Each structure stands twice: as C-alpha cells, then as structure tokens.
Amino acid sequence: MMITLKNVTKEYNKGNIGLEDVSLDIAKGEFVFIVGKSGSGKTTLMKLLQKELDVTSGQIIVNGQDYKKLTQRNLPKFRRQMGMVFQDFRLLKDRTIFENVAFAQQVVEVPHRYIKHQVENMLEMVGLKDRMNAFPNELSGGEQQRVAIARALVNHPVLLLADEPTGNLDPVTAKGIMELLSEINKSGTTVLVVTHNKELVNEMGKRVILIEDGHIEQDEIRGSYDI
C-alpha cells in the first residue's frame, strides 16, 4: 500500500473534529479523487498526509513509514518523496520558471550538472520548456500550474498530493491539468486530488472518496460525484 489510515481521528482545539475514525487504503499507483463539501475534512486529510498536522488518535503509514516513528530530523527527507500542488500555484514571483523548478532540486542538493538537464526535461513534459526564462506573472494560470506540477515532480516523488489544483482555472484549462495528472499517474506515481470539480471527476472515471463531516461517506472504484 502507498497509504494506510487506521482509525484516524483529528480533533482540533475546542473539540472541532477534522476527521473521525477514518480508515483507508490506497494502493501504489492509484489515482484517487477526494471530494466533499466545504468543511468536510479534505484539507485535514491532506495536512495529515504531509505530517503538517499530527493525528489525535489512530495510525498513518505512507510508503512503509509509520508516522509515529518519523522523527523531526527525518521529516524533510521523508517529505521529499511527496510532491505537492496547490490551488494558488505558490511559485516564487521573482524567479524564472526554470529557477522555480530548479529550486526544488537545489534544496535537495542535486549536483549542479544534473539540475539543468532534469529541470528542462520536466518543463518539456509539461509543455513549457520554451518559456523557461519567463517569470510566473508572464504566464497564464494554467501554465503556472504546469510549472508547479513540474516542480512537484522534479525530485521523482512516489506520491503526488494536489489540493484543488484546478480551483483557479477555467474549465478547458482545468481539464488539461487533470489530464496531465492522469498521465503522471500512468507513469507510476500515486496521485491524490482534492477537488470540487464535479464535471471532471465524473468524466475521468477514477476512484472517488467522498468525505462528509469527517467521515468517509462513499468510496467507489469508478466513482462519480453527484452531491
């Protein structure tokens, strides 16, 4: 399994429940949509998976690593196995497209001579190699999201977590981004996508997990999103 949650509960201060007694298995290589109303617990799940938050009770195991045994010291290295993509892209505005993607590699101290080659390969995959010297504000929203995806993938993560990756994009661009995520999945990366985009969820015929009030309400292999 890539992801296992066993009876996971996350309780915030003042008794606010983020997730309650959630158990879940996601196999290596799966593509999964996480859907549900605002406040249902989707972001809580993503933050627990990134270990940005700790569980109140229960167990999380990702790629063989039990989160309880993950020390603060090992956390950065562990997180490098995960790529993350957000609704608001989160690119560095004063860096070029190339530098934005290269930055992820400099952080992990990839030898300089490899960086250029790998960054260019990633930008080629997302169709933006010819824009590598542009700055983020010279790109459309969809293009910026492609850069963010290239950045998330440049260290070859086993797991890609995307929180509302198409939330700021028009329907056609959103579809292109979902198709790109699907292609990435086909090359072996496990992909989890939180989204409110019903049309795309229904069109893509992937596994859909519906969260409601901190519980898994529905989990279907080729699911749809009707609520």
Ligand X SMILES: Nc1ncnc2c1ncn2[C@@H]1O[C@H](COP(=O)(O)OP(=O)(O)OP(=O)(O)O)[C@@H](O)[C@H]1O
- Which residues of the shown chain bind ligand X in the complex (CB under 6 A)? 12-13, 16, 18, 36, 38-44
CA distance 43 to 106: 28
How far apart are CB 92 and ligand X at their closest, in Å? Answer: 24
How far apart are CB 37 and ligand X at their closest, in Å? Answer: 7
C-beta separation of 188 from 202 below 8 A: no
Between 150 and 200, CB nearer to ligand X? 200
Chain centroid, CA 114 distance in Å: 25
How far apart are CB 86 and ligand X at their closest, in Å? Answer: 11
Between 128 and 208, CB nearer to ligand X? 208
First to last CA, the chain: 29
How far apart are CB 161 and ligand X at their closest, in Å? Answer: 13
How far apart are CB 44 and ligand X at their closest, in Å? Answer: 3
Between 18 and 58, CB nearer to ligand X? 18
Chain centroid, CA 100 distance in Å: 17
Between 40 and 185, CB nearer to ligand X? 40
CA distance 156 to 118: 10
**What is the side-by-side order of every strand in the sheet holding 207-212?**
82-86, 159-163, 190-194, 31-35, 207-212, 215-220
Between 23 and 74, CB nearer to ligand X? 23
